[in-house]
Chain A
Amino acid sequence: MIRVENLKKTLTGTEVLRDVSLRVEKGEFLALIGGSGSGKSVLLKHIAGLMQPDSGRIWIDDEDLGSLRGRKLEMIRRRYGFVFQSGALFDSMTVYDNLAFPLREKTKLSESEIKEKIVRELEQVELHGVESKYPAQLSGGMVKRTALARALIMDPEIIFFDEPTTGLDPIIADAMLKLFGRCQQRLNLTGIIVSHRIPQIFSIAQKVAMLHEGAIVSAPCENGTIQTDNRILKQFVEGAIEGPVRYE
């Protein structure tokens, strides 16, 4: 379970997170939406422990993330899988080595066990025959699939997606979202996905949280639609220019 309490963060004089509180239950998949530059990725990086808040707390189960250092923080991070916007694959390594890297460094698996696990993981993300290729030789969709496979290879409990469909055509982007949803369901992962793919994102999420002016507006999500009377959230989801918020 992820719990964010009264998170505040100012970056270069701008209050990016004003008072963010959020809760994601175990096995729940949350879609984090909001305008460009609203601080979604910043929030995600705080929850992942990559950034420190000015004030506020983040709880992962019963662990206060802000109080963890060194080995304890590493242990929490090992429970995470993170799919970055760019994929963040190591460009000096092949796809195989990208997947093998955390296994070689953090487990005692033999090379044959590592190979078996990589083949299985690549099958799960529907990727074949790319083991010996370098990230620069892959298409956008293949990079995202590889990034997903790498995020899942250490059997995480929590998974984060930071705008994982950016740069993909609409058909591939939808296929990727469905793949993310299937993986999350099958492995019963707790997850947060930052995405601009509205309304497609609602078909895989159980809850939607919109980051607006540094605070959260949330609503449950059912059968691909959100259940809300909040006018700000409705306006954003409908993509309406007219409404309580003026978009220029």
Chain B
Amino acid sequence: MFVRLTLWLGGIGTFHIRRVGRSGIFLIESLACLLTPPIKWGRIARRIQFIGWQSTGLICLTGAFTGMVLALQGYNTLKRVGSEALLGPLVALSLIRELGPVLAALLVTGRAGSALTAEISIMRNNEQVDAMKLMGLNPLRYLVFPAMVAGVISLTILTWIFDVTGIFGGYLIGVKLLGLPSGTYFGEISRYLEMDDIVGGIYKSLSFGLIMTWICCYKGYYTGIGAEGASKATTQAVVTTSVFILIWDFFVTTVIF
């Protein structure tokens, strides 16, 4: 009984260690394409268009509403302690340091990351990836590396857009609806916002972009068989990426802030 339990646990342990190792090798081999030209700039541009440009509307909308909710909640809380004037810094710092990078990453994972997994998964199941290998072409260079570069660039820009629209949303609620002076709102932001806050937010969005494309591409590349396999891979990609981003966010926050 004890031996069987040990063997069973050992089997599960080995299986998961092997998977972690495989995903690590996948990341290293994909990033190695940076050091071994040619770099496929056209593919990177098309991926930026898909991951970044096509997510802009979604990011603007959700960014604005996040800022508006923050302003509503923040104003009521700050009013209790007589510090309504600090509404601007509350909205801006919450967005730039935390909510902007995290929410933008989660939204882009749902919109573009899932599509990346599905696309690579279907290509894998239809043997298009094998066809590429047999042409003497490295699928990581054509499918994965451009997505990683595009993910990092796009998510960083999308996070800025999220932050800006969020601050504007907060302005609409705080200034236009609740009557806070416009000069106070922006003046207090420029007083309390430091370069470290902005740089920290950028570091977060850069790492989230890499995590999102790494996990989503990996799940697609090592997908299961058929439609069921592709569907499972897509679900796992979104869930794993979201959980990983939140865990990573905690560690990054403890280190850089």
Which A residues have a C-beta under 8 Å from some C-beta of B?
45, 48, 50, 74-75, 77-78, 80, 82, 84-86, 88-91, 101-102, 105-106, 150, 154
Complex formed: what's the CA distance from A36 to B221 in Å? 27
Please give me the 10 A-B residue pairs with the lowest Cβ-Cβ distance, nearest first.
Answer: A88-B127, A88-B131, A74-B136, A78-B136, A102-B135, A84-B127, A82-B134, A77-B136, A88-B128, A77-B134
State whether A50 and B134 are in contact (beta carbons under 8 Å apart), knowing that A86-B126, A86-B127, A90-B128 are contacts in the complex.
yes
* B: number of interface residues (CB 8 Å): 12
Name the CB-closest residue of B to A154: B135
Quick check: B135 and A50 within 8 Å, CB to CB? no
Distance from B223 Cβ to chain A, minimum over Cβ atoms (Å): 16
Name the CB-closest residue of B to A71: B136
Most interface-central of B126, B130, B134 (chain A CB within 10 A): B134
Does B16 touch A at the CB level, under 8 Å?
A: no
Quick check: B133 and A50 within 8 Å, CB to CB? yes
A45, A85, A106: the one within 8 Å of B135 (CB): A106
Q: Which residues of B lie under 8 Å from residue A84 when comparing CB positions?
A: 127, 130-131
Most interface-central of B126, B127, B136 (chain A CB within 10 A): B136
Q: Which residues of A lie under 8 Å from residue B127 when comparing CB positions?
A: 84-86, 88
- Please report which residues of chain B, range 124-176, place their CB below 8 angstroms from some CB of chain A when the two chains form the complex: 126-128, 130-131, 133-138
Name the CB-closest residue of A to B130: A50
Distance from B199 Cβ to chain A, minimum over Cβ atoms (Å): 38
Quick check: A78 and B135 within 8 Å, CB to CB? yes
Q: Which residues of B lie under 8 Å from residue A48 when comparing CB positions?
A: 134
Q: Which residues of B lie under 8 Å from residue A88 when comparing CB positions?
A: 126-128, 130-131
Q: Which residues of A lie under 8 Å from residue B123 when comparing CB positions?
A: 90
Q: Which residues of A lie under 8 Å from residue B130 when comparing CB positions?
A: 45, 50, 82, 84, 88
Distance from B255 Cβ to chain A, minimum over Cβ atoms (Å): 36
Distance from A16 Cβ to chain B, minimum over Cβ atoms (Å): 15
Q: Which residues of B lie under 8 Å from residue A75 when comparing CB positions?
A: 136
Can you report 15 residue pairs joining A to B where beta carbons are below 8 Å apart?
A45-B130, A74-B136, A74-B138, A77-B133, A78-B135, A78-B136, A80-B134, A84-B131, A89-B131, A90-B128, A102-B135, A102-B136, A105-B135, A106-B137, A154-B135
Q: Which residues of B lie under 8 Å from residue A80 when comparing CB positions?
A: 134
State whether A102 and B137 are in contact (beta carbons under 8 Å apart), knowing that A82-B131, A84-B131, A88-B131 are contacts in the complex.
yes
Complex formed: what's the CA distance from A86 to B128 in Å? 9
Most interface-central of B130, B131, B138 (chain A CB within 10 A): B131
Complex formed: what's the CA distance from A89 to B128 in Å? 6
